[in-house]
Amino acid sequence: MRRREFIAFLGGAATWPLVARAQQAHTIRRIGFLTGLADDGKESQTRLTVFRQELARLGWIEGRNVLIDYRWANGDPVRAQTHAKELIALSPDVLLAHASMAIRALFEATRTIPTIFVSVSDPAFVENLARPSGNATGFTNFESSMGGKWLEVLKEMAPRTGQATAIYNPTTSPHIAAGRYLLPLEDTAGRLVIRMTNSPVHSSTEVEQVIARVADLGDGGLVVLPDTFTSNYANLIISRTAKYRLPAIYPYDSMVRSGGLVSYGINLKEQYLGAAGYVDRILRGATIADLPVQAPTKFHLAVNLKTAKALGLEVPVTLLARADEVIE
């Protein structure tokens, strides 16, 4: 090799690591995450840890070859819209939305960036669930008929329940206000000879008023519907139902681990695992049409024996036998 060529070779070899690092930096991918929940929830952080761990297992290490931008709307639809615009301005490769409030905000802001959703009740914005034609797909949580199942479990847990009240926020969950879960609740209430009422709430004060009123009935029970608002105010609802010794059923097992009586619903950690898989496929070149919307195939029954004892309830053996999680 001639001296001039050798010097050129050495120069090229010296600059190669710099070029490689520049190319690596250029290939860092970006994920935008938006949820309607507050950022102080232990369960929310646990689910995100599951998501990051699964991404890492698939080869995406946060801070190394992928960046994740987090936004928490804390139950405020206006804030969700603002955060959606902020995330889109960062030019993410893919978006992840938790719950209906988040997906609505992102869907209003973009129809092009691939978006994966988790814990969405009614994906009416997806025309073809098997092969989505738009920019969104993901994992749903509950069919409308689940409303009746919640009431059945509540009645089994607290047989003396003669009147039940469904609690939710119509602003954060307009699909519930439009009748989702409410009609099946009424149908099941008629069959179980239970008087069913609905109590829309918008603030912590209204939550306390409703719970106190239902407790005064003597034979009342509470059905906590899956809603960003009720998730953000779960600790308040749990503490007040304990104070008034009111039986209540919840949609998520995390609420039972926090002291709630009983829950029947999906395992959100599993949905975050699935979402990580979908995000991985998008980052590797798949399209939304390749990723069908998935409905849950298993529901999780959780019972808190300590809370049942405090309420003076004896948990039926048949319910315990079916429980996936029993908290002593």
The residue whose two tokens read 């206000």 is 177
Taking only the tens place, the pLDDT of each residue in 160-198 is 999 999 999 999 888 888 889 999 999 999 999 999 999
The one-character DSSP state at 325 is E
Taking only the tens place, the pLDDT of each residue in 273-326 is 999 999 999 999 999 999 999 999 899 999 999 999 999 999 999 999 999 999
CATH of domain 146-265+300-327: 3.40.50.2300
Residue 224 structure tokens: 């906590």
Buried b / exposed e along 272-310 (16+ C-beta atoms within 10 A): bbbbbbbbbbbbeeeebeebbbeebeebbbbbbeebbee
DSSP 117-168: EEEES--TT-S-SSS--SSEEEEE---TTHHHHHHHHHHHHSTT--EEEEEE
pTM, two decimals, is 0.87
Q: What are phi and psi of 62, to 5 degrees?
A: -60, 130
pLDDT at 142: 92
Contact criterion met (CB below 8 Å) for 304 and 311 = no
Tell me the chain's radius of gyration from C-alpha atoms: 24
The one-character DSSP state at 289 is G
Q: Is the pLDDT of residue 242 over 60?
A: yes
Q: Is the pLDDT of residue 9 over 60?
A: no
Tell me the pLDDT band of 42, cut-offs 50, 70 and 90. Answer: confident
Domain boundaries, the chain: 7-141+267-290, 146-265+300-327
Residue 84 structure tokens: 């959606």
Q: Which fold, 7-141+267-290?
A: Rossmann fold (3.40.50)
Strand ranges in the chain using DSSP code E only, listed in sequence order = 29-35, 66-72, 94-98, 115-120, 136-140, 163-168, 195-200, 220-224, 248-250, 262-265, 300-304, 325-327
Q: Are strands 300-304 and 262-265 parallel, antiparallel or unpaired?
A: antiparallel
Residue 130 structure tokens: 């098997």
pLDDT > 90: what percent of the chain? 81
Buried b / exposed e along 225-258 (16+ C-beta atoms within 10 A): bbbbbbbbbbeebbebbbebebbbbbbbbbbbeb
Contact criterion met (CB below 8 Å) for 114 and 152 = no
